[in-house]
Structure 1
């Protein structure tokens, strides 16, 4: 086997350094792109022009230069190489042959997407990539046995022409057969079927459908590892061109019970300690129980939620109970809530339907205590169209929410609540992102009395209007800030990444929560921040100035779109 040209050149240069007959500095005079190709390997003293010429010729050939001209001269103890790479060889013809039952549309797509078309300069790396791309596309759609039979790049150095030929055997078309599941001891195979919405028996085999099944199973709390493959060796023949093969899913179950302890700090609610108990097999039914206690400086919460596996329509149901106490902006609240929820992913839209009952006792400083009860059906839709869920650079996220309560159905007040948020990302070059955010809300009611704070609006703090304390923008009641019936928030943030880990940001936020539109006076905050790419997403540390208060606030946030 011949050594790689780069290794060969490097070794030859080392020999040249040790030769010693006419040791001196090697100077290269060549076009800029050729110098960039060869210079990393010409940092030693060279004494053998013949060997240097041979190795450099091999390297140039990989870039399509097959007739270079070399001129050596020694001046002032230095070896000077003047290199003319000559004309570059370009693709003159392509013969792409695919045997097997491939549709005319697929054949046309393979030729149209070929990475090394006629007229383009020949490069060995591009030639290898182009061949692999065709094979990968065949393997990804129906043809799980596709293979490259033969390939050849014929170079005519005199005419600077390359004639390419690649011959593939697509093999038969495959369809999915039944699932075979291995590795289950605790759970029933029906659990796997409930998470499978992509691999359907008798549907055409697609690699991405198998990947979707893996992603769905890996995202559950039940399995520590998941593997899946199409068993082509055990396929059955449907017709001359088509076979059906079973899908083998290998699973390793995760320990169902987990205890977690943690702590942290939030610029909104202060220091935090938390304990959490999770089980993935409550009552032996593969129900998830997630319960815990979270103690923050400004809020204390006890909660318990039960999540059921998805149903046949991929809807996931849950029920939960929560008790909470908080003291934020001199407003003390105690609330008890119970609710049921249904979550369904419908393409790029996530739908959440819920029904929640809650009782709230709120006591503003220097004002009258109020008890509010509400039974609220609520619907929320979130549409995500971004290039990355954790760190978007381009795209949109839109969320709409609608809910309300009625005195005739267990609520102390009639009201309807509407809320919407939008986030837009623009990529401004390789390292810079502009993010725009807007939020509007309105609660339709005769007055805000006896409506729980969850269904009114306060703003300020991390994630809303920076430069102001958490939930400090709202309605003054006594010496406290309570929720109003109107909300408006807007934000613009420009982030520039300095390297792979760190970035800087400049931002301006504006917003307010009021009880009457005539009272609206947007509070403006602006400042600078640092960004760090953590494993969970970009972490932000912001220093913001609030114009209304004339104060500076420090904010911490995990910058993940809602």
Structure 2
């Protein structure tokens, strides 16, 4: 039986078909590449043959740049007629003349010509800029209400040309427009120049400037309409921070947005002045708000060698009612300390943006250095925050049950009254590089008023950062004192301890403290500690090397010696805050070994 098959000269077999298609594709690709190469060569040749404007005679980079940006582009080919090129040269010369006048050259000489080359003709301008015009007289007249404002005074001092200065029309425009815009930002929305002159005498190469501003009447903030439904209208109005009828300024307009956004009530805020609807010297304001979710939840985690791993959780009720009350509760857990607290915040109706009342309660348990403490406190405080200052007064009842070493726990209660004054001028709260911060507190209790002992406790802290070139220098100092005749009854939470990651590195957490006869650390009546540190960036602005010296102690005997340690460390500006790795060596002559200190994440 003979099987049928394809003839060798008929329809090709599978492999012959593939080879034919391959040869066809290869030929097509080669043709495309050849065509593309020819097109590219032709385009390059055309580009090389295109006319180009030739500028000669100028050596001032500013003039060359301004003329080059001002003249019209060459849009004709090498085959253009001489008449066409001459028309272009007239337009280019006029534009160049205006560009030179912008920098005070009013007597420039410009020669036009056509430059021949092998396959093309180029338009050419030879420019002699001539002498520069200088300012001979400057007259600036502003009403006292505007002239005495610091921002205006500084602007005029910086921008006002002096007699003999070269004329710069761009600088004149900036001075004129800057004065007008500053007047409008200060609420003089109808401000206008009654005299606005720049007079140039080309014959004498001199110029006179005159700016006389009539500001008109100053506008005030009119009706403020706030679109929101979560707060009482009166409270929302006060949260803007700008009282009705206040002078209209762009700074206060921005402050309205920042003040409302800075509260926890709103996710976003849009403030719009209705300038087209102003009348009777009042500008109505329309504010659109979008509320935050009513309740927020937060989980935290971190690690430090002081307390080891730590976790925390927080729940916040951003607005309990339309009076703007807030409630929050949080817990923090580590191997050494466990804490639970809650607070209820009431904004002060007269000034809700800066003042509030807090009603709070907390329960803590701490087990460290053979001291076991369980404490509970409840109280209330008044707080006023007027950035960068913070003031507060508080009263609370504290119950403390503490056992030192093998001694049985003792329970004591205290009715405490206290106050605090703080200042925070740091440029960055997560990784400061400049600024000053300090905090001073004073509190006390009287034995006749439901307290186990009478005492007065004061504490002061100050710190600062100073950049010098690429270096950052930091310093801090802390001092504390307790005045009492019954120190043995003082609650553990009010005694002084030091040592650890954030005080005297090289020593364990709260290990610097007086001891009793059994060697148990009992805390001190006095505290003195300080630190000096220098940081230098090694990788961009995120990685730093640090060297430091810490010294301090907590003591009962005022003549006790300070403990000192020195070390080096690494700082990393991480997305969640600063990561600190330090190695510190005690310098007190003992057998102490270098100690590693590690801090990661937010400080609770």
**Conservation of the 8 A alpha-carbon contact between 1:374 and 1:451:** no
Tell me the equivalent position of 1:76: none
Deviation at 1:255, TM superposition (A): 1.2
Match of 1:505 in 2: 546
Residues 501-540 of structure 1: pairs in structure 2 closer than 5 A: 501-532=542-573, 534=575, 540=580
Instruction: Give the superposition deviation at 1:512.
Output: 0.7
| Alpha carbons 1:379, 1:402 under 8 Å: kept | yes
Q: 1:487 deviation in Å?
A: 0.3
Mapped partners of 2:160, 2:222: distance in 1: 37
Pick closer, same or farther for the CA change 1:132–1:444 going to 2, 3 Å: farther
Aligned to 1:4: none
Show structure 1 runs of 5+ residues with no match: 1-13, 22-28, 42-50, 71-82, 238-242
1:475–1:234 Cα change, 3 Å: same
More deviation in 387-396 or 311-320?
387-396
Q: In structure 1, how many angstroms separate the alpha carbons of the residues matched to 2:206 and 2:542?
A: 45
**Residues 515 and 233 from structure 1, CA distance in 2 versus in 1: closer, same or farther, beyond 3 angstroms?**
same
Aligned to 1:328: 368
* Aligned-residue RMSD, C-alpha: 4.6
Partner SS state of residue 412, structure 2: strand
Of 278, 297, 300, the match for 2:316: 278
Residue 142 of structure 1 is matched in structure 2 by 187
Secondary structure of 1:409 counterpart: coil
* Maintained 8 Å contact 2:370/2:404: yes
Secondary structure class of the residue paired with 2:524:
coil
For the residues of structure 2 that align with 1:289 and 1:132, how far apart are their CA atoms? 50
User: Residue 468 of structure 1 contacts residue 553 of structure 1 at CA under 8 Å; is this kept in 2?
Assistant: no
- Which of 429, 432, 453 lines up with 1:413 in the alignment? 453
Aligned to 2:83: none
Question: Which residue of the partner structure matches residue 268 of structure 2?
Answer: 225
Summarize deviations over 1:398-436 as a string: whole Å, max 9, x none.
32111012221122121110111122343423x333222
Partner residue, 2:478: 439
Alpha-carbon offset, residue 263 of structure 1: 1.9
Cα 1:362–1:204 change in 2 (3 A) is same
2:327 counterpart SS class? strand
1:278 Cα deviation from its structure 2 partner: 1.1
Q: Which has the higher Rg, Structure 1 or Structure 2?
A: 2
Alignment equivalent of 1:267, drawn from 305, 308, 319: 305
Indicate if the aligned counterparts of 1:195 and 1:216 stay in contact, CA closer than 8 A: yes
Q: How does 1:114-153 map to 2 (within 5 A)?
A: 114-118=158-162, 120=165, 126=171, 129-146=174-191
Q: How many residues align?
A: 515
Q: 2:497 matched to 1:458?
A: yes
**Contact 2:301/2:601 (<8 A) preserved:** no
CA 1:102 to 1:479, structure 2 compared with 1: closer, same or farther past 3 Å? closer
Give 1:92 deviation, angstroms: 4.5
SS of 1:449's partner is helix
1:144 Cα offset (Å): 3.8
Question: In 2, are the aligned partners of 1:94 and 1:117 still within 8 Å (CA)?
Answer: yes
Q: In 1, Cα distance between the equivalents of 2:99 and 2:471?
A: 36
Offset of residue 494 of structure 1: 2.2
Q: In the alignment, is the contact (CA less than 8 A) between 2:500 and 2:508 conserved in 1?
A: yes
Q: 2:237 aligns with which of 178, 193, 208?
A: 193
TM-score of the aligned structures, taking structure 1 as reference length? 0.76
Following the alignment from structure 1 to structure 2, what is the Cα–Cα distance between the partners of residues 17 and 88? 40
Tell me if the contact between 1:116 and 1:122 (Cα under 8 Å) persists in the aligned partners.
no
1:449 correspondence with 2:488 = yes
> Counterparts of 2:431 and 2:178 in 1: how far apart (Å)?
28
Distance change >3 Å, CA 30–CA 494, structure 1 → 2: farther
> Hey, which of these two has a bigger chunk of strand by percent?
1
Aligned pair in 2 of structure 1 residues 172, 503: CA closer, same or farther (>3 Å)? farther
Structure 2: give runs of 5+ residues left out of the alignment.
1-42, 51-57, 70-88, 111-126
